Amino acid sequence: MSYQELVRKRLALGVAVSLALLISLFASALLGSYHVSLEDVLSRNVVFWNIRLPRIVTAVIVGASLAVSGAVMQCILRNPLASSFTLGISHGAAFGASFAILYLGAGLTHRAGEGVTFLNPYLVTLFAFLGSLIGVAVILALARLRSMSPEAMVLAGVAMASLFSASTMLLQYFAENEILVAYAVFWTFGDMGRTGWSEIWLMTISFLAVFPYFYLRRWDYNALLLGDETARSLGTNPERVRLTGMLAAAFLTAVSTAFAGIVGFVGLVSPHIIRMLIGSDYRFLIPLSAIFGSLLLLTADTFGRMILSPVILPVGIVTSFIGAPLFIYILVRGGGR
């Protein structure tokens, strides 16, 4: 296959995935426990504009953020199993966000215990980022100081996830406000329906700030695939690219986790599926992973709203059912390393 044919194939896939996302957006707007017709949408139906549309936009942004972060992590750590979820970074963000909600007044209970809203979304984001940085620092330190293998880094990530999960449960155990504790527990399942427009704007601005950086670094990521020595000969500084890439990925993960909870496997599944279709060229892998991540999470959330209607199944449960078999497949394909 010539280079021109390969580019055309990748562009065609991009168009196909984009069209699939548009179809999924339309279907998600109309389907759910409460039926919304096209006339309701056009007449500014309250259910659609105040409940369903924020949920759809949240799924699109969070899916894109987690997928592109996973694609970058897999490159800079040279690990096909790397993602914010498998490395414990999402769990670190959840720990930081839980601390802000439960103990720093970032979560506000409504009167008569009717619900919880974010009193200070910026404080939640800040502490989620600080929590994720702990996980990033441990992973980078082990990779650099101990020269751990890619497989060993995943095991280190599993250990960090367990530690953060235990720490989060400890925070919940000693918290005095039962409503906030119940909210924090449910939030860790991963849910697209807890965000308002102020949180959505914050997530959108964060994604629009980080995604261009990832795309501008696409040639550096391609160079890293050839090895550090080759990358240096091509003018790339591997250490700097890894550090800035991990920090940017941790930031996107923190913002997404702070408002949507822990959503597993999107950052692992999406880049792998795109990579199997078009290869590892990060000029195409970065944007297509983002689009496919949005498609995957939006489809999973729509499925979770319909399968047990009128009960809404948290999207984190749905993505885990999708991602766990693929995770096992990757392990088997890798020869059990």
Report how far residue 98's alpha carbon sits from residue 123's, in angstroms, rounded to the nearest whole number: 11
Residue 202 to residues 125, 246, 255, 257, 258, Cα–Cα distance (Å) = 9, 20, 8, 13, 11
Q: What are the tens digits of pLDDT across the range 177-203?
A: 787 887 777 777 888 887 888 889 999
- 1-10, 64-73, 160-169: segment of lowest average pLDDT: 1-10
Q: What are the tens digits of pLDDT across the range 88-100?
A: 889 998 899 889 8
C-alpha Rg value of the chain to the nearest Å: 20
Predicted local distance difference test score (pLDDT) of residue 209: 94
Q: In terms of residues, how long is the chain?
A: 337
Question: Does residue 175 contact residue 187 with C-beta atoms inside 8 Å?
Answer: no
Question: Is it the case that residue 267 has pLDDT exceeding 80?
Answer: yes
Strand partners of residue 108: 117
Question: Is it the case that residue 284 has pLDDT exceeding 80?
Answer: yes
pLDDT, the chain, mean: 84
Q: What is the DSSP string of 151-196?
A: HHHHHHHHHHHHHHHHHHHHHHHH-S-HHHHHHHHHHTT--SSS--
Which amino acid would we find at residue 168? Answer: T
- Which residue reads 């919880």 in tokens? 116
Question: Does residue 193 contact residue 315 with C-beta atoms inside 8 Å?
Answer: no
What average pLDDT does the segment 315-329 reach? 82
